Amino acid sequence: MLLFYAPDFTTDSPLLPEEETRHALKVLRLETGEFIHITDGKGNLYTTKIVSSDLKKPRFQIMQHQSDYGKRDYFIHVAVAPTKNPDRTEWLVEKCVELGIDTISFIQCDHSERKHFKTDRLEKICVSAMKQSLKAQLPEIQDIIPFEKFVTKTDLWDQKFIGYLDEQKKYYLSEIAKPNQRYCILIGPEGDFSPREVGMAQQQGFIPVSLGESRLRTETAAMAACHILNIINQK
């Protein structure tokens, strides 16, 4: 299955962006009569046939349209402190999208190693990972936001977690997360959340959870949390 991304693709305007057209017709050398799949990143999946492989004026015939392709009964939102090394942040975005995620937010914490960064490249990585993993829903990448502002969004999720080991009450995400919910989990920087932030999150209803016995780096923890929540919903 060859999947291409065209955010403005519709039945009335079945056109690929120039970059995707070039990749399909010049790089992959697809020809008239061959089939490709196209998504708008909003859940629509189109099965199309190439009826003109002219680079300047390519034309596609829609053979089938599936709305809400791959729709899930749950929602995963990971809010994570960006890593000092941007390559590691890019890696976590790529892997979370491949596993299945709806929104990735970046939070500025007391111990954050990086305070500012641009999301342009992350959005491109997100598109690439969506196509690679054959998904039709493009996850949302949100700009960095202060921790205090983010945790006050209390009415968006059914279950809220913070990746933090509470020695007095040790809960595992895999044990207390319920299926078919709207989840949000906070993942801190390498220096962990500060006691102030943990207390603030708990006041807003976030439950401290462990992701397992190993101590994980920020990007690994984000991916592990995403994977655990997906697995819970596949039982």
**Bridge partners for 172 per DSSP:** 210
Query: What confidence tens digit (pLDDT) does each residue in 82-95 have?
Result: 998 999 999 999 99
Query: What confidence tens digit (pLDDT) does each residue in 209-235 have?
Result: 999 888 889 999 999 999 999 999 986
pTM > 0.85: yes
Tell me the domains of the chain and their CATH numbers: 3-66 (2.40.240.20), 75-232 (3.40.1280.10)
